[in-house]
Structures are given as C-alpha cells and as structure tokens.
Amino acid sequence: MRIAVLSDLHANLEALQAVLAHARGQDCAAFVCLGDIVGYNANPRECLRIIRELGCPVVKGNHDEQAAMPADTAEFNELARQALQWTRDQLSTEEQSWLKGLPLESETSGFTIVHSTLDAPENWGYVFDDLDAAASFVHQKTSLCFFGHTHVQGGFVRGDSVRRLPRGNVLLEQRKRYFFNAGSVGQPRDGDWRAAYAIVDLSNRRIEPRRVSYDVATARDKVLAAGLPPLLAERLLLGR
C-alpha cells in the first residue's frame, strides 16, 4: 500500500496537479492531506475542490482555520494577512464551513497526521529542530506521524534519543518512532522551488520524500494577475 502525503498546498493548482500526476505514476492509490490547502496563491477553490474529490483524510492548517474566520484572529505577517483576506473573499460560506470542520489531528492506516505539532496542535507551533520534535514525540501514539507547517521537507527519529534523519528515503525500523515533514506542495521554503510531497510505503516500511517540477511560471503569473502581493509570486521561483 503506497500513500501520497500532501501538505501546504497553498492554493497552488499547478503544483498540486503535477504532484497528483506524479504520485499516481508512483503507484500511490491513496492520499492524505496535512492542511493549508488555501492561502498565499491564486487557486484556493480549485485546490479545495480537488482535495474534497479525493475524499482522503485531511487535517486543518492555520491558513485553513483563518480563511474560515470572518476576520483575522491570529498574528500573521503582512503577506500572509493580505493573502488570507483575498482568500476569504474567494471562498463560499459552504467551503469555509467545510474548512472549519476539519480536525486538527487524525489517525489513518496506522499513522498519525497533524499540521503543526502533536503537543499543542491548536497553537500552530513550528518543528524545526530535535527539541521541537521531542515535544511532539511525547504525544505521538503511533510509530509514524506526518506533519507540515514549516514547508521544509525532512524528519526526525526517536530511538535512544531524538535526532534529525539524513536526507533521502527512510527505512522505518521496529521500536523507533518517526516524525516526518512531507514538505510543501505549493510553497517550498528550503531553497528548492520544486513541489514537495512524501510517499509512505506501508508494505515495505519506507518513506520516500519526493520533488516534482511544475509550471511555476503560470502559478507565479496567476498570483500577480489576482492582485496578490508580488513577493508571493517571486518566492515561488526561489523556493523561499
């Protein structure tokens, strides 16, 4: 059983379509979504429709939460705030209430999915280092958990201690716990502009982090045409 793990799509339709096509070519028959379907880019409704049609397990991201609020209730930087206001105006009441109803955390096929952290998912903290990961491991009930939110692909393992996993495929060992960031489909921030996602191969106990080239020029042009902040368009090409 191969499952594609998608996170931080951020309304980037070109990236999402490329990732879905790639995953299907990699024999993925199922999907999970770690949230932030909307925010930043130009196609929130289209991305939302695709994810809903997949009928896959989905957890809520902080942008999903805010897009479903009548006005800002959280501290966002100016770029995110402007994009959220624009996103709110695009979404129907029904779409907003669907986002609102998403859980913060879910268990599926024997692993856990969450957008931010397991210790306090509603606080939207970021897991960047071993210490952040250690706090989530305390609350992790399954041997594997996928998370997102930082837009940086890569993970952590807890054996005798918590350490960062080297790049590349991960073989899941018995009696160890894994907390893995699938990376961002729609706005990677690790210096690689290509869309990121992860495949989990449950039969072979393996995580395969993937990168997929997509039509980034079209995604950029749509951000500009929508009147969203130009910096949001430029960052797509930089992977920042």
Does position 64 bind Zn ion by CB under 5 A?
Answer: no
Closer residue to Zn ion in complex, CB, 35/209: 35
Stretch that binds Zn ion, among 6-14, 82-90, 193-201, 210-218 (CB under 5 A): 6-14
Cα gap 17→79, rounded to integer Å:
25
Cα gap 48→45, rounded to integer Å:
5
Closer residue to Zn ion in complex, CB, 50/172: 50
Does position 14 bind Zn ion by CB under 5 A?
Answer: no
Closer residue to Zn ion in complex, CB, 8/105: 8
Does position 65 bind Zn ion by CB under 5 A?
Answer: no
Cα gap 126→62, rounded to integer Å:
11
Stretch that binds Zn ion, among 29-37, 43-51, 195-203, 217-225 (CB under 5 A): 29-37
Q: Contact with Zn ion (CB under 5 A): which of 14, 36, 64, 95?
A: 36
Stretch that binds Zn ion, among 28-36, 123-131, 166-174, 197-205 (CB under 5 A): 28-36
Does position 208 bind Zn ion by CB under 5 A?
Answer: no
Stretch that binds Zn ion, among 36-44, 92-100, 199-207, 227-235 (CB under 5 A): 36-44
Interface contacts to Zn ion, rule CB under 5 A: 8, 36
